[in-house]
Structure 1
Amino acid sequence: METEYKQYNIRLSIDSRLEQVRVLSGALRGIGKELELSDDKLGQLELMMVEAVNNVIEHAYQMQGGNDVQVRVDYSPAAVHLIISDSGHTMPEAVHSEARDMPNPEDLPEGGWGMGLIHLLADSIRYSIDAKGNHLHVSKQLG
């Protein structure tokens, strides 16, 4: 007998203002608790999402409010996939094309940890651009 499970596809959207990232983070924690994700996996997903959304606001939208940042959460028992989408400036290929080492803190004026943390925590990462905008796909295996 095959075990049935629910598969979820949840969409969240915020305005491109840093103070709204906290609300998005709280929503993801609520989703994770509902899906009974471990605290460890949920913490990693939350960190990846927050870093990605902060990057969108800071770089794609250059700290300008009034723009849409979308996060889609796809869940199956095997993995959680986050898709962070925007219609701002595209990410330079060197930033997303390959895994990066964590930067040396002494070399950073401020920030600079975002994509390094995402590459470190994600089991897979992909960046795509289409007519609707930019999309960062990150996945975390649950098994």
Structure 2
Amino acid sequence: MPILPPFTVSIPSSEMAVRDALKQVLAALGPLELGTEEAGTVELVLAEVLNNVVEHAYPDPDTAGPISIACAHRIDGLHLQIVDQGEAMPDGTTPLGQPVSLDVDFEDLPEGGFGWFLIRDLAKDVLYERVGSKNQLSMRLAVALQPGETRH
């Protein structure tokens, strides 16, 4: 039996709503008593994903739509599913998230590309699917594991 019942947070696509969603999710995770590092991991991964949705799935603020974050705590960690009705991922897949070389002149640093590297580095079982008119991104964060479980 999970310590935490599954829950869903739904927001409109906007930068301010992302901030609100992060607060709502972290508050709902309170019973798990996450440590600072675990809570930081959840917040960082969710912030990267949600900001990507706002920026890329709904690039026109006038046609922004809903974003849903479903959370379920299981024995192997926190399972998240983020669903939106925005534009599909290019080529139907998430970016590879390769590490970016920082050994370049300041003006040659890339503007973006760090987010998917962080998501893939911190989350497990990352899966993107386009189902009808919806983007569905699911992942697992190895936080708040049950006694005897390992982070893999």
TM-score bracket relative to the smaller structure: 0.7 to 0.9
Equivalent position to 1:11, from 5, 8, 11:
8
Aligned residues: 138
Counterparts of 1:1-143 in structure 2 under 5 Å?
4-6=1-3, 8-64=5-61, 66-93=64-91, 96=94, 98=96, 100-105=97-102, 106-109=108-111, 111-131=112-132, 133-141=134-142, 142=145, 143=150
Give the AA of the match of 1:82: L
TM-score using structure 1 length: 0.84
Counterpart AA for 2:89: M
Residue 27 (structure 1) shift? 1.1
**1:76-123 Cα deviation digits (max 9, x unpaired):** 23210111111111112486265x3222354312x3322111001012
- Where do 5+ consecutive residues of structure 1 fail to align? none
Deviates more, 1:44-53 or 1:64-73: 64-73
1:89 partner amino acid: E
Unaligned runs of 5+ in 2: 103-107
When residues 62 and 5 of structure 1 are mapped into structure 2, their CA distance, relative to the original with a 3 A threshold, is: closer
How far 1:5 moved relative to its partner? 3.9
Q: 1:113 to 1:94 in 2, by over 3 A?
A: farther
Structure with the greater alpha carbon radius of gyration: 2
- CA contact 2:92–2:130 (8 Å) conserved in 1: no
Which moves more between the two structures, 100-109 or 133-142? Answer: 100-109
Q: What is the TM-score of this pair, normalised by structure 2?
A: 0.79
SS of 1:136's equivalent in the other structure is strand
